[in-house]
Structure 1
Amino acid sequence: MDSSVVCTETFATDGCIMSGNQKIPRDVESDIESLYKAVPQLTKTFRIIDKIGEGTFSSVYLGEAQMRDGSRDMFALKHLIPTSHPTRIAAELQCLTVAGGRENVMGVEYCFRKEDHVVIVMPYMEHKAIVDIIGSLSFEEVRLYIYHLLKALRHIHQFGIIHRDVKPNNFLYNRKAKKFALVDFGLAQGTADTQIELLKDLVGLRKPSRPVFSERNLNNCASPTTTVKQETKTQLVKPVKTGALSSRSFPATARTQKTQRTVHLPLTCNCFQTDRVCNICLSRKQQVAPRAGTPGFRAPEVLTKCPNQGTAIDVWSAGVIFLSLLSGRYPFFKANDDMVALTQIMTIRGSRETIRAAKEFGKVVLCSRELPRLDLKVLCETLRGQRPEEGTLSSKPRVECKASDQRSETQVGKTPPLFLKSLDKKTAQPSLRKDCLTHDERGWDTVPDEAYDLLDRLLDLNPTTRFTAAQALEHPLFENL
């Protein structure tokens, strides 16, 4: 790459900044200038044109670079926030370098660092947000989209990578060129046999702030938990004089007595399998388990804080995306509270099925009313306006949901009016007429039953029986691909 400095002369006009032929808002221009100052090496190679994305942990910029053959290529520059842990940054880079660059997974071209500022340079893929094109997609486009998403997931899962944040914003789609790219491994974790060495180190990073992931230790008030805490404390305390030790014995005794009072709480509380929460449950510590991801795309085992989470959580997220595309509704699930999100899932998949699946991975889920399992084909066709006579999806009662581990309830949540009510009020048909093709010409009147069968298997509530990405790619829906 040519390291010559690219001219970035700018001038103000109409409250914006002009950079070449590109009109940039002042706040974006300020961010670009700050990035140049933070990582001055970028000025020798890239002309940053615009800010094209911003998240909790990073910002993404569009940059142009002159290559050695005289051509100009576009790149996406991801600036990681300075507070990111170095091992987390290195793990993301390792995921991109080891698994990226093929099978619809974004690769990495360069990386720049100046002190605690890191910029990852990746190829730029022109794309549009799903929310802007979902109304004009044909079924064949949806089929290809899910097929290529599953290919990307199969690829990273072979390396033992759990993406943990699969959603349309992280799976770029160039509709014109029919290209796809899975991006953003900032929340990735490794399986037990992961090939990404740095993902193994991330487990160690969580131990100081989250000492125990075991449900047994969190909910069982037995002596082993106390022993672990005492051993950890002994290792951290510096040696002191004998006199100082005696002066500290009384507070330590008081803490021990307090702990002993806690351990005598009964393991089975008096609100077990009821519609209330007792003081014993409220006094217990919250269950701790990985729950990274975007609301609306989290799997049931994530919502119920199951400590054993694997690649199946990515497949569930792919199923939610497939449900959105088949129904024409994005986002389909939208709830910031985990229990509300779990209730929305039960509204679609059924309360009995959810309770049965939760029991398989060591959780007890209680629901105040029984919710029947919906037919996915009827649901999607109704939301697309193909079954107007069956548009009474919202005639369901208000429900309350409670989830816990098998020994006790530890969380409770109340749902707002069922989200299907808002989905049912909107008719999908108007949004499906954004281009010249009619609804039938896009193939939505001939969606094969195999599509809904695959959707059902991707949204299997039990992670142990849920399709893997490799199994899904063998489904008859993709037979001719």
Structure 2
Amino acid sequence: MEAAPTGQRSSHQSVEKGRSRHKIPRDVETDIAYLYEVLPQLSRIFRIIDKIGEGTFSTVYLAEAQMTDGSRRMFALKHLIPTSHPVRIAAELQCLTVAGGTENVMGVTYCFRKEHHVVIVMPYMEHQTFVDIVGSLSFEDVKHYIFHLLKALRHIHKFGIIHRDIKPTNFLFNQQRREYTLVDFGLAQGTPDTQIELLKELLGVDKAPRSVFGEKNINGTNSHKPGTDKVEGLLLKTKREEVIPRKIVSSKHRSVPVRAPLNQKPKPPAVSPMLTCNCFMTDRVCNICLSRKQQVAPRAGTPGFRAPEVLTKCPNQGTAIDMWSAGVILLSLLSGRYPFFKASDDLIALTQIMTIRGSRETKEAAKTFGKSIVCSRDLPRLDLRILCETLRGLRSWDDASLPAEFQASRNPAEVKQDAGSPAKKRMSSGSLRSIAELQEMGWDKAPDDVYDLLDKLLDLNPVTRITASKALQHPLFKDMTT
């Protein structure tokens, strides 16, 4: 418990002051009481102050502890859901233990466990919410932010760790002190040569089949009985009645969905294995396509930050998916728009990527990892500098000639000013700052290097996408120590 990193020790004073200004909601008080109940040993060490984060697989609390030297320090307590897979929990802990505590990667201080309840204790880092500061960062702030994110990625990738959920909420940032920390390895996977032993076990566990549009989530299997530490046989095989959707297509191509009888699988069509489908570029799905076996591939991560190879279910995924996510973050930082991509499903997400990177380029890249993409219309590749400067407010919308997809995201105040105000007085729809303010923040002097790095991070081909090590050697960071 004495291993809290330097710089974290005095944060509790300002945090406590802020927390005391508002009453903790009753539901949070109930959750805290429950945590004390299932893990009584916590009450002997920590005073849990508030709930500061909640996700699908865990809840994070802010807590204070009195150290042996009399000082008080703040900690983050991550309570993993009781249904979490034991190997997944152990793998996350091993990532934090082996790779954490240095190079902008969160470390672990202690771990509590009682039966199937697990709490990971980590140093608390006071930080700002990304959505609140994305439009107020200077260019130098952005440069330092992406530099330190790349340092964290280089470090974990050396250990063969694929984070799989790189996003701003998992990269904590203290703007005043310029401190950065990569957190949450709950979805991490290993490369074939990973140094994290338990990630090697997950390579087998993570191959459990799932539905086409379902998240790849071994955390959702309630297969660990209290007091049982065996890994084998943890995934439950549940029987369920299958409902097979089919379509009856009329001569007018109007399809009516019908259902096959329960527990009755349709017979596969008697066709030659070499026969291609006959529904290509039509509004129906043929029996050949319906009979094809679903391809299983990792899809963990957050919508809006998934790489093209993840969206197209490419089975061979590596550390390049983290680099794509870093590119999306940089795109938000340069444009002042967060979230930049927001889609309800993978196909819409892929379409949004094509809007930026071009449909022809996306289709060509997909071929390199064995996928075929069909697009109803050609979408040109956009100039990243023009796109970002227009969205931030440094360029006129009329001069940029951006697609209609981006016109819908313009701020009403900016549209109103377009009618009678000169371009130099327009406000950025992302940050609502004047041209003079943007110039003062250094945005008018952003070099081409930063857009070149963005282009390399958003390389549609994972094979040629820039690595973290190479990115840190980019001319953009020539004056910074790696």
Whole-angstrom distance in 1 between the partners of 2:282 and 2:361: 19
Whole-angstrom distance in 1 between the partners of 2:432 and 2:303: 29
Residue aligning to 1:223: none
Whole-angstrom distance in 2 between the partners of 1:439 and 1:33: 47
Residue aligning to 1:333: 341
* Offset, 1:276: 5.3
**In the TM superposition, what are the counterparts of 1:19-418 in structure 2 within 5 Å?**
23-209=23-209, 264=272, 267-272=275-280, 277-388=285-396, 389-395=398-404, 418=405
Whole-angstrom distance in 2 between the partners of 1:208 and 1:429: 46
SS of the residue corresponding to residue 340 of structure 2 reads coil
* Offset, 1:262: 6.2
- Whether the aligned pair in 1 keeps the contact of 2:393 and 2:429 (CA below 8 Å) is no
Percent of aligned pairs with the same residue?
70
Residue aligning to 2:423: none
Confirm whether residue 464 of structure 1 aligns to residue 463 of structure 2.
yes
Residue aligning to 2:224: none
The residue identity in structure 2 corresponding to 1:141 is D
* Offset, 1:280: 2.2
Residue aligning to 1:412: none
- Name the count of aligned residue pairs: 401
SS of the residue corresponding to residue 408 of structure 2 reads helix
- Whether the aligned pair in 2 keeps the contact of 1:312 and 1:463 (CA below 8 Å) is yes
* Offset, 1:430: 5.8
- Whether the aligned pair in 1 keeps the contact of 2:78 and 2:121 (CA below 8 Å) is yes
Alpha carbons of structure 1 residues 436 and 117: separation in structure 2 relative to 1, 3 Å: farther
SS of the residue corresponding to residue 64 of structure 1 reads strand
* Offset, 1:272: 3.6
- Whether the aligned pair in 1 keeps the contact of 2:305 and 2:328 (CA below 8 Å) is yes
Deviation string 1:216-266 (CA, Å, 9 cap, x unpaired) is xxxxxxxxxxxxxxxxxxxx9xxxxxxxxxxxxxxxxxx9x9777567565
The residue identity in structure 1 corresponding to 2:314 is C
Whole-angstrom distance in 2 between the partners of 1:378 and 1:125: 36
* Offset, 1:439: 1.4
Whole-angstrom distance in 2 between the partners of 1:429 and 1:21: 33
- Whether the aligned pair in 2 keeps the contact of 1:312 and 1:466 (CA below 8 Å) is yes
- Whether the aligned pair in 1 keeps the contact of 2:392 and 2:430 (CA below 8 Å) is no
The residue identity in structure 2 corresponding to 1:50 is D
Considering only aligned residues, what root-mean-square deviation do their CA atoms show, in Å?
2.6
TM-score with structure 2 setting the length: 0.78
TM-score with structure 1 setting the length: 0.79
Whole-angstrom distance in 1 between the partners of 2:269 and 2:395: 60
Whole-angstrom distance in 2 between the partners of 1:379 and 1:86: 45
SS of the residue corresponding to residue 354 of structure 1 reads helix
SS of the residue corresponding to residue 363 of structure 2 reads helix
* Offset, 1:270: 1.6
Residue aligning to 1:423: 409
* Offset, 1:434: 7.1
The residue identity in structure 1 corresponding to 2:341 is F
Alpha carbons of structure 1 residues 186 and 339: separation in structure 2 relative to 1, 3 Å: same
Residue aligning to 1:475: 474
- Whether the aligned pair in 2 keeps the contact of 1:393 and 1:424 (CA below 8 Å) is no
Whole-angstrom distance in 2 between the partners of 1:59 and 1:375: 41
Whole-angstrom distance in 1 between the partners of 2:78 and 2:434: 33
Whole-angstrom distance in 1 between the partners of 2:52 and 2:435: 29
- Whether the aligned pair in 2 keeps the contact of 1:327 and 1:383 (CA below 8 Å) is yes
Question: Which segment drifts farther, 142-151 or 262-271?
Answer: 262-271
Residue aligning to 1:440: 439
- Whether the aligned pair in 1 keeps the contact of 2:428 and 2:434 (CA below 8 Å) is no
Whole-angstrom distance in 2 between the partners of 1:291 and 1:260: 28
Question: Which segment drifts farther, 192-201 or 423-432?
Answer: 423-432
Whole-angstrom distance in 1 between the partners of 2:429 and 2:84: 44
Question: Which segment drifts farther, 432-441 or 129-138?
Answer: 432-441
- Whether the aligned pair in 2 keeps the contact of 1:275 and 1:368 (CA below 8 Å) is no
- Whether the aligned pair in 2 keeps the contact of 1:391 and 1:424 (CA below 8 Å) is no
SS of the residue corresponding to residue 389 of structure 2 reads helix
Alpha carbons of structure 1 residues 368 and 140: separation in structure 2 relative to 1, 3 Å: same
Alpha carbons of structure 1 residues 197 and 267: separation in structure 2 relative to 1, 3 Å: farther
SS of the residue corresponding to residue 367 of structure 1 reads coil
Whole-angstrom distance in 2 between the partners of 1:197 and 1:262: 46
The residue identity in structure 2 corresponding to 1:66 is Q
- Whether the aligned pair in 1 keeps the contact of 2:391 and 2:429 (CA below 8 Å) is no
* Offset, 1:422: 2.7
- Whether the aligned pair in 1 keeps the contact of 2:62 and 2:124 (CA below 8 Å) is yes
The residue identity in structure 1 corresponding to 2:204 is G
Deviation string 1:313-362 (CA, Å, 9 cap, x unpaired) is 00000000000100000000000210110000000000000000000010
